[in-house]
Structure formats: structure tokens, C-alpha cells
Amino acid sequence: MYVVITGASKGIGKAIAKEFAENGYNLLLCSRNEIDLNKTAEELQTQFSSVNIKAKAFDLSKQAKEFGQWVLDNNITPKILVNNAGVFEPGNVYNEPDGLLEKQIETNLYSAYHLTRKLLPKMMEAATGHIFNICSVASLQAYPNGGAYSISKFAMAGFSKNLRQEMMPHNIKVTTVYPGAVFTKSWGNFDNSSNRIMEAEDIAKMIYAASQLSAGACVEEIVLRPQQGDL
């Protein structure tokens, strides 16, 4: 069984890849940075030698369909698709730079929309599968300096909710994931020794658990926040 994961070279995407590889799943990985992606793929392949791992760099804000075609060209119908690719830039609607909304919509929404559409015919033909769309608590509640990012994540949540309804008759599950603050490299030198924010592995474990339920059960939404609440 193959799992397709976007934004897989670091952070949440890398943690998800590791969780599934550890449990015997084969991986098809994508991210924009070819060097980081290849390093991640080699690291995982060394650690989990019994699974098959393929990786190829694409900028999904512009090349989501091309990545989808690469998956199909490998003669693979994904069992699980994780739409994780995303970008965050802070700003307020009234003064953020021109083009910021378009940039974040392209990465945070269009990448998942176009990749999913490319892979769905094969998944629907197989009448099985599970799609995880990584949103954010910013999809649920606006916050200061959220601007275009929050708008794009609200849109991603809408896409996911629509997809859930559409895929019910085709036996394909859809789960929307809303993480709060997660400790990744984007936090720089943040001191998380007090466990103030979550670990990427927390998200990965919840996604894996949701993927293991019976055919008759679908976790529609996963909301994860730090124990002490949002920052």
C-alpha cells in the first residue's frame, strides 16, 4: 500500500512519512526543496529498508497536476493521500503585500485541489482510499496577523468538507486535520522544553490512528491544540 505525502521533507509532513513507513507503508513523497526531500527520503529508506520510498521535487503551487501524473506514471493508486503542502506568511488584510493572498491560495488550496482531482479517478475506480487534508486552527478562527493565511486555510477547510460529501458514495474517506502550534524548524530557537506547543509526531500519530479504523468508520475532523491552549 502506498501513501502519497506532500510537503514531506520536514516538519509535519516528514513526521507523517516516518509514522507510515514505520508501520510498513510504501511512500511517494513530494516537496519543493529537492535537497531536503532527497535527504529525508534517504534517511527514511535507511531506517526502514523493507518499504519502498520514491521522492520527486515539485513546486505544488504550480505543478500539482504534474506531480499527480508522476504518481500515476509509477502505476500507483494511492491508498492514502496526505495534502500537507503549505506556506505561512503573517500579515493583515489591510496592509499585507499585494500578491500575498494569491501566493498562499496557490500553495495552501490549489495544490491540494489539483492533486486530489488528478488522483481521484484511480482511487474511485478502486473504491477505497483515505484523504487527509492538513488545515489549521486558523481555518476555524481568525486571529491577529493571520490575514491571507487564515483566508487560504478557511478555503482549504471548505474544499475538504465538500470532498467528504462527494466521496461518501465512492467509499473514500476524507479527514480534515486542524493543528494548532506545532514545534518545527519554522519556530527557530523557540524553547519548547516545557512542552508549550505540540510535536510534529503528535499530528502524525493521530493521522495514522484515524487511517486504521474499520471500513464503516470515518474520522471527519481532527482538532489538536497545545495542552495549555493556543499561543
Which candidate in 110, 149, 178, 208 is catalytic?
A: 149
**What is the secondary structure of the chain as a DSSP string?**
-EEEEES-SSHHHHHHHHHHHHTT-EEEEE-S-HHHHHHHHHHHHHH-TTS-EEE----HHHHHHHHHHHHHHTT---SEEEE---------TTTSPTTHHHHHHIIIIIHHHHHHHHHHHHHHHHT--EEEEE--GGGTS--TT-HHHHHHHHHHHHHHHHHHHHHGGGT-EEEEEEE--EESGGGTT---TT--SEEHHHHHHHHHHHHTS-TT----EEEE--TT---
Strand partners, 156: none
Q: Alpha-carbon distance 191 to 154, whole Å? A: 29
pLDDT tens column, 17-76: 999 999 999 999 999 999 999 999 999 999 999 999 999 999 999 999 999 999 999 999
Residue 206 φ then ψ, to 5°: -70, -40
Distance spanning both ends of the chain, measured CA to CA: 38
- What's the whole-number average pLDDT of the chain? 96
36 CB neighbour count, 10 Å cutoff: 15
Closest CA to 147 of 99, 87, 101: 101
- Quickly tell me which residue has 487560504 as its cell: 152
Q: Quick one: average pLDDT of 4-18?
A: 97
Q: Alpha-carbon distance 160 to 143, whole Å? A: 21
- Residue 185: the pLDDT is 78
pLDDT beyond 90 at 139:
yes
Q: Alpha-carbon distance 3 to 16, whole Å? A: 10
Is residue 25 annotated as part of the catalytic site, yes or no?
Answer: no
pTM beyond 0.85, yes or no: yes
Confidence class for position 189, pLDDT limits 50, 70, 90: confident
pLDDT beyond 80 at 186:
no
Domains in the chain: boundaries: 2-224
- Residue 47: the pLDDT is 97
Give Cα 158 distance to the centre of its chain: 15
Q: Quick one: average pLDDT of 152-164?
A: 98
User: Out of 3.30.540.10, 3.20.20.70, 3.90.550.10, 3.40.50.720, which CATH number does the structure's domain 2-224 have?
Assistant: 3.40.50.720
Helical packing angle, 200-211 and 11-22, nearest 10°: 50
CB-based contacts of 207: which residues, under 8 Å, 6+ apart? 16, 19, 82, 132, 175, 177, 222
pLDDT beyond 90 at 188:
no
